Amino acid sequence: MTQDELKRLVGQAAADYVKQHVPEGSVIGVGTGSTANCFIDAIAADRARYRGAVSSSEASTERLRGHGIEVFDLNQIDSLPVYVDGADEINALGHMVKGGGGALTREKIVASVAMTFVCVVDASKRVPVLGLFPLPVEVIPMAQASVARALTAMGGTPQARVRADGSPYVTDNGCTILDVRGLQILDPVAFETSVNQIPGVVTVGLFAQRGADLCLMGTTAGVEMTDYRN
């Protein structure tokens, strides 16, 4: 199967999981990216079963509304039974690098209130050590240079993200992103803490302190499920 076919496979598997485990009438958390888009498309057939969704990006909000699914502000919701999102990398403990799509801060916020975090990926995202994919760090614009110096001192090579036309990349929160290359993140929990403590950092795309509870991974043999709560 192609990578796109694997993404559709796990998107459908996540929709089936949510339908089986989440009570009817619930509001569900929905992430950002191509695999999350496959999940959004897959739940559209059962949209009447859910009260609606909380979205981690403007792009996902638009896609959900296009399917007729109501999107709520997180401030309107007390809790989320599930949050479904993709990852750029995931290790054997369910720690992830996320934020290739630029929505890492909102993804972290939605994940923090969800009872169960379901990560949906294809097998290419499984790694023994995090860091091969550039680590995104969302930064207050005035602190970009100082944060870059701090990240360099930590062993990385940060580069400001730009759009295809060369213009600065601006997040949905009005901030910039530094993509940090050259890392081997051997202790993701400690590294996440260290980066978050740099003044000017909004958040880092390490999801280790709040990692995945469950991973649905598309492989050539089908969908492989790993439960990190066991």
Residues identified as active-site: 107
Rounded distance, CA 104 to CA 206, Å?
A: 9
Q: Is 218 annotated as a binding residue?
A: no
Asked whether the beta carbons of 207 and 95 are under 8 A apart, the reply is yes
Q: Is 19 annotated as a binding residue?
A: no
Q: Is 33 annotated as a binding residue?
A: yes
**Coil, helix or strand at residue 115:** coil
Q: Is 146 annotated as a binding residue?
A: no
- Which residue is it, tokens 């796990």? 10
- Taking Cα atoms as reference points, which of 162, 190, 196, 189 lies closest to residue 177? 162
Rounded distance, CA 54 to CA 74, Å?
A: 6
Report the 10 Å Cβ neighbour count for 49. Answer: 15
**Cα-Cα-Cα-Cα dihedral sign, residues 10, 11, 16, 20:** positive
Q: Is 200 annotated as a binding residue?
A: no
Asked whether the beta carbons of 15 and 216 are under 8 A apart, the reply is no
Q: Is 220 annotated as a binding residue?
A: no
Q: Is 124 annotated as a binding residue?
A: no
Q: Is 34 annotated as a binding residue?
A: yes
Q: Is 125 annotated as a binding residue?
A: yes
| Binding-site residue ranges for substrate | 32-35, 85-88, 98-101, 125
| Binding-site residue ranges | 32-35, 85-88, 98-101, 125
